[in-house]
Structure 1
Amino acid sequence: MILLEDTTPFMAEEEPITSSSNPPPTSSSESFNTFFENWLREQNSHLEELVTAANNHNENEIEIENENENDAVLLQLIEKVVRHYEQYYRTKSDWKKRDAIAMYTPSWLSNLEEVFLWIGGWRPTLAIHLLYSKSGIQLDAKLGDLIRGITTGDLSDLSPKQMEKIDELHRKTIHEERVLTEKLAKVQETAADRSMVELSSAVSEMMRSGGGGGGDGEESEERVEEVLEVKNGQMEELLHRADDLRLETLKAVIEILTPIQAAYFLIAAAELHLRLHEWGKKRGNKQ
């Protein structure tokens, strides 16, 4: 059970994103591009719900009797938003099994977004940098209140215990990112391993000699598929681990925060994601 800072139950224990008892539809007629655009529209809807809920929470916070009710509304919404992220990774996992390599250069993202990719998605530490940035922005806006000892309740009002947990999570996530980055480097280096060099030389020699047809050509094609399938499997496994870390980090950040702080964090995350996608599309997609 994941708990927020005030020990209010947040959501049921997560299931691995590589499997789902009720996965979203993935018919052959539905492309991931279509799924992603629909997912973004739903994210935008969740964003508006979060903004409304946060505003209502702040308006009612002076009424002590409404505090639990306010938090309950926020918790339900936060759970829905997190499950929306889980849906994304479950669906992505299904497509990875079809073509993991394509997930490293996603056609549904703009060139601008692709610049910031790490193993087919956002860096997990980005969630923590986002938290620091939004906390700083809210701190600047509420500095006067904080100096007067007025509790703001938002991300400018993180407690020392919360800051300690965030720092610990940051260091842990950096370490896990480095491990996966090193594994990616090793997989990339296999592009020139013995099997690839021998195979490329054999196929090139066959082409120079005018071969390529008949039994030898079919055997070479089979061998190429076998070797590339191994590479694809390695990239798929790495992508699974990176996506696991992304979702795990997002949930870990939310776990540290109070309901209203988590709402502000998810608002900032959605705003950044949606605006970056829009800016990238305006600058021009891949040709």
Structure 2
Amino acid sequence: MQQGTLAVVDSMEQAKGKTGDQKTLRRLAQNREAARKSRLRKKAYVQQLENSRLRLSQLEQELQRARQQGMFIASGFSGDHNQLMVGNGALTFDLDYTRWLDENQRLVNDLRSAVNSHMGDNELHVLVDGVMSHYDELFRLKTIGAKADVFHMLSGMWKTPAERCFMWLGGFRSSEVLKGILGNHLEPLTDQQLMGICNLQQSSQQAEDALSQGMEALQQSLVETLSSTTLGPAGSGNVADYMGQMAIAMGKLATLENFLYQADLLRQQTLQQMHRILTTRQAARALLVISDYFSRLRALSSLWLARPRD
């Protein structure tokens, strides 16, 4: 009986050992399969990034060629100095804006590192002021660009396609930044801060509505001027009336530069007022959120342009 008992116990232990070995083998097989799938996903992701990088490089080359062609076309008007100046002005702004983006990314990276490392408010304040001053520089560049080619600035051709979908008078809507972007990222706010942000959002919306109505009125006025029955072709013998009406239209068109300036001034003042309402650390987070939003729009444009086409 003792020998039989020992045999049964030994048999049970062997069975348990085999079961344990099978579980171990299954676990090892599952780990190998998971590792294989992970390697495949990583390889696919790296390949996708490489394709995107190549596509971006290709797009940059195409953009550079387009800019050079634009310069060539502009300089081809040997008798039209104004056309040359407009072409050069738009190209100059595009190059300045590219440099501005690079510097802005550097400033934002420094600000992000400071926030993540819980830097003191005094040091953080210096970095926040640096980003704010850099936005002031952008508005200064846009003012110069508008004097050279206001249509280039209003059309937003210096931005990516996805950004242009949300363009309003040559830039972003201040009210949307306050409501749609910052509203969900600055919790918690004091009651006084919340009221200040809400009031700022409402006042920005009102100013935007007023400027939009002004632009609509200007467009309607131009339509009426250009479609006037007294405006005959230059070769019809009524040259004086024709030139008079075109001079009126040119005068109305000149106000576009002022609309762009007012829109940029609203954007600048909104950022400054937001800075005053928030604490230094909250303002730093707000600037990071704004920067991340526009970075994602630019990335979305790149991915959209690089998407596979059938």
TM-score, structure 2 normalization: 0.64
Counterpart selection for 1:158 from 189, 203, 208: 189
> Is the Cα contact below 8 Å between 2:163 and 2:297 reproduced in 1?
yes
Deviations 1:167-193 (A, max 9, x none): 111121111111111111101111222
Q: 1:272 matched to which residue of 2?
A: 293
Q: 2:253 matched to which residue of 1?
A: 232
In structure 1, what residue type is equivalent to 2:177? A
Q: 1:183 matched to which residue of 2?
A: 214
Q: 1:52 matched to which residue of 2?
A: 113
Counterpart selection for 1:174 from 205, 213, 222: 205
In structure 1, what residue type is equivalent to 2:228? E
Deviations 1:61-105 (A, max 9, x none): xxxxxxxxx111111111110110000000110111122122111
Counterpart selection for 1:89 from 133, 139, 153: 139
> Is the Cα contact below 8 Å between 2:178 and 2:197 reproduced in 1?
yes
Deviations 1:226-257 (A, max 9, x none): 34432332111111111100111111111111
Larger Rg: 2
Shift in Å, 1:224: 6.9
Name the CA shift for 1:190/1:165 in 2 (closer, same or farther; >3 Å): same
In structure 2, what residue type is equivalent to 1:244? L
Greater helix fraction, Structure 1 or Structure 2: 2
Name the CA shift for 1:196/1:74 in 2 (closer, same or farther; >3 Å): same
In structure 2, what residue type is equivalent to 1:202? G
> Counterparts in 2 of 1:66-145, with a 5 A limit?
70-129=120-179, 130-134=181-185
Q: Does 1:41 align with 2:102?
A: yes
> Is the Cα contact below 8 Å between 1:196 and 1:227 reproduced in 2?
no
| Number of residue pairs matched by the alignment | 218
Query: 5+ residue gaps in structure 1?
Result: 1-26, 61-69, 135-154
> Is the Cα contact below 8 Å between 1:127 and 1:249 reproduced in 2?
no
The 1-side partners of 2:90 and 2:172 are apart by 27
Q: 1:283 matched to which residue of 2?
A: 304
The 2-side partners of 1:200 and 1:161 are apart by 58
The 2-side partners of 1:224 and 1:101 are apart by 21
Name the CA shift for 1:199/1:45 in 2 (closer, same or farther; >3 Å): farther
Structure 1 segments of 4+ aligned residues over 4 angstroms from their partners: 27-30, 219-225
The DSSP-based 3-state class of the residue aligned with 2:162 is: helix
Q: Does 1:247 align with 2:280?
A: no
> Is the Cα contact below 8 Å between 2:175 and 2:204 reproduced in 1?
yes
The 1-side partners of 2:107 and 2:293 are apart by 14
The 1-side partners of 2:167 and 2:230 are apart by 30
> Is the Cα contact below 8 Å between 1:47 and 1:271 reproduced in 2?
no
> Is the Cα contact below 8 Å between 1:74 and 1:260 reproduced in 2?
yes
The 2-side partners of 1:94 and 1:272 are apart by 26
The 2-side partners of 1:199 and 1:283 are apart by 46
The 1-side partners of 2:90 and 2:204 are apart by 37
The DSSP-based 3-state class of the residue aligned with 1:185 is: helix
The 2-side partners of 1:183 and 1:78 are apart by 34
